[in-house]
């Protein structure tokens, strides 16, 4: 297994990637040598323009995490961050005040926005930013086109009884505390896969869906035209790891998002939602947590190889073991 491709969101994906790289570096990934190369296709539907800056939360979380610049406690943004700009903007009363833009982080968004303004596509901008961070993976935005997830929530004051907010507003300002009625990914149907994305799937020896949000991270990547087809067609085995453990997400809001699209919030529910490749879906294998061992048979009955192993990313070793279990399952 020389070429490994991972379809990633932010925090869950980034932490998994740390473990995967650790497994490769320590010779613990079955079938892969120390020179195995990892390509990451990252979700960009969380992206937002704020104060004139283009912010790409999932790309940055992967880049900062693997480049050792992440704030470990928060799980997003830069370590040793200060918030002077945010405080000053709030003093001017400039909206949005709820979005956390740290001073160090702003430098990244300034570089990105300047390059976009100069006409570079997001993929080239990302490559340039990665020159500094050296994440140890090839980091590809799922698309260079503008795609933005919006969430419909109830609003009794609106004539339609509902209101649509940007995904970041739902997550950061509303803390996903109100039910999501629908998820609308603006621009997705017209998006073109970013350079290298389709080849990364087609030419891979192994494709992994990490424990990322199945709706607003992996789901949006799968929604980019031709990506799902590439997964169905690739010769590489496709293996996923459940972000749902014991009937709930570990962190984040996968529960709210799954509910909004009518998918059962369980490890088996998500695996069967992705579906078996032999049956028009995208998975050959699915890992569930030990706590969900009773769901293995249901997943297998859906035509997907399945095993129960510990799926908590508590440290690099535990996460490396998860990556190893994924590679093992892929080898059959
Ligand atoms: P986001 O973009 O920051 O929301 O990150 P992702 O979409 O990549 O990942 C979020 C998902 O990771 C959530 O659904 C969590 O349930 C899942 N997750 C986080 N930590 C763990 C863990 O230790 N184990 C498992 N199995 N899932 C996790
Ligand atoms: Ca995200």
- pLDDT band with cut points at 50, 70 and 90 for residue 100: confident
* Pocket perturbation via mutation, ligand 1, pick of 252, 267, 291 by most ligand atoms within 8 A of CB: 252
Say which residues have a Cβ less than 8 Å from residue 263's Cβ, sequence separation at least 6. Answer: 214, 215, 269, 270, 273
Q: 243: Cβ below 6 Å to ligand 1?
A: yes
Tokens of 111: 């570089």
Pocket lining: 218 vs ligand 1, CB cutoff 6 Å: no
For a pLDDT cut of 90, what percent of the chain falls above it? 97
Mean pLDDT of 294-313: 98
For residue 241, which atom of ligand 1 is closest to its CA? 26
CB 58 near ligand 1, within 6 Å: yes
Residue with tokens 């990914």: 185
Residue boundaries of the structural domains of the chain: 3-45+190-330, 48-141, 148-186
| Topology given in CATH for the domain delimited by 48-141 | Helicase, Ruva Protein; domain 3 (1.10.8)
- CA of 57, nearest ligand number: 2
Q: Is 283 helix (H, G, I), strand (E, B) or coil?
A: strand
Q: What's the gap between Cα 108 and its chain centre?
A: 19
Do 75 and 48 meet the contact criterion of CB atoms below 8 Å apart?
Answer: no
Does the C-beta of 270 come closer than 6 Å to ligand 1?
Answer: no
Residue 272, SS3 per DSSP: helix
Q: Is the CB of 9 under 6 A from ligand 1?
A: yes
Q: Rounded mean pLDDT of the chain?
A: 96
- The 8-class DSSP code of residue 193 comes to B
Residue nearest to atom 24 of ligand 1 (CA): 312
**For ligand 1, what atom is nearest to the CA of residue 250?**
16
Which helix (H) or strand (E) segment holds residue 16: the answer is helix 11-25
Asked if CATH classification 3.40.50.10680 holds for the domain at 3-45+190-330, the reply, yes or no, is yes
Q: Which two tokens stand for residue 52?
A: 């004139």
Ligand 1 center–CA 270 separation, angstroms: 13
User: Is the per-residue pLDDT at 332 higher than 90?
Assistant: no
Q: Is the CB of 47 under 6 A from ligand 1?
A: no
CB of 251 within 6 A of ligand 1: the answer is yes
CA of residue 212 to ligand 2 center, whole Å: 8
Average pLDDT over residues 12-24: 98
Percent of the chain past pLDDT 70, that is, above it, reads 100
Extract the tokens encoding 220.
């949006």
User: Which residues have a Cβ under 8 Å from the Cβ of 278 and sit 6 or more positions away?
Assistant: 303
* Interval 104-163: pLDDT, tens: 999 999 999 999 999 999 999 999 999 999 999 999 999 999 999 999 999 999 999 999
Q: Which residues pair with 154 in a beta bridge?
A: 162
From the CA of 232, how far away is ligand 2's center (Å)? 24
**0.95 surpassed by pTM:** yes
Backbone angles phi, psi at 241, to 5 degrees: -125, 135
- Write the CB contacts of 71 (distance below 8 Å, at least 6 apart in sequence): 77, 78, 79, 80, 81
Is there an atom of ligand 1 within 6 Å of 168 CB? no
Residue of 6, 10, 11 best suited for mutating to test ligand 1, as the one with most atoms within 8 Å of CB? 11
Per-residue confidence at 253, pLDDT binned at 50, 70, 90? Answer: confident
Residue 286 has pLDDT above 90, yes or no: yes
Which residue's C-alpha comes closest to atom 12 of ligand 1? 12
CB of 309 shorter than 6 A to ligand 1: no
Distance between CA atoms of residues 44 and 262, nearest Å: 23
């Amino acid at each position: 297994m020389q070429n490994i491709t991972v379809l990633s969101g932010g925090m869950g994906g980034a932490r998994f990637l740390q473990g995967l790289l650790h497994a490769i570096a320590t010779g613990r990934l079955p079938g892969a040598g120390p020179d195995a190369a990892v390509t990451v296709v990252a979700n960009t539907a969380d992206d937002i323009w704020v104060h004139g800056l283009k912010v790409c939360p999932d790309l940055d979380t992967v880049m900062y995490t693997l480049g050792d610049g992440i704030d470990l406690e928060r799980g997003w943004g830069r370590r040793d961050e200060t918030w002077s700009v945010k405080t000053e903007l709030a003093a001017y009363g400039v909206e949005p005040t709820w979005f956390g833009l740290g001073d160090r982080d702003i430098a990244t968004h300034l570089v990105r926005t300047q390059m976009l303004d100069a006409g570079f596509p997001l993929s080239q901008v990302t490559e340039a930013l990665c020159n500094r961070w050296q994440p140890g993976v090839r980091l590809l935005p799922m698309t260079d086109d503008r795609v933005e997830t919006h969430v419909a929530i109830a609003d009794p004051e609106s004539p339609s009884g509902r209101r649509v907010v940007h995904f970041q507003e739902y997550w950061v300002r509303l803390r996903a505390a109100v039910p999501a009625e629908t998820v609308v990914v603006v621009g997705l149907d017209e998006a073109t896969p970013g350079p290298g994305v389709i080849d990364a799937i087609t030419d891979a020896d192994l494709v992994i869906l990490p424990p990322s949000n199945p709706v607003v991270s992996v789901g949006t990547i799968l929604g980019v035209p031709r990506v799902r087809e590439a997964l169905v067609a690739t010769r590489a085995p496709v293996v996923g790891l459940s972000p749902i453990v014991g009937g709930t997400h570990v962190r984040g809001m996968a529960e709210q998002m799954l509910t909004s699209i009518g998918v059962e919030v369980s490890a088996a529910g998500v695996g069967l939602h992705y579906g078996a490749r032999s049956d028009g879906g995208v998975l050959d294998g699915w890992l569930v947590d030990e706590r969900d061992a009773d769901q293995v048979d249901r997943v297998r009955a859906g035509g997907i190889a399945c095993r129960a192993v510990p799926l908590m990313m508590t440290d690099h070793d535990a996460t490396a073991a998860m990556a190893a279990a994924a590679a093992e399952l892929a080898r059959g």
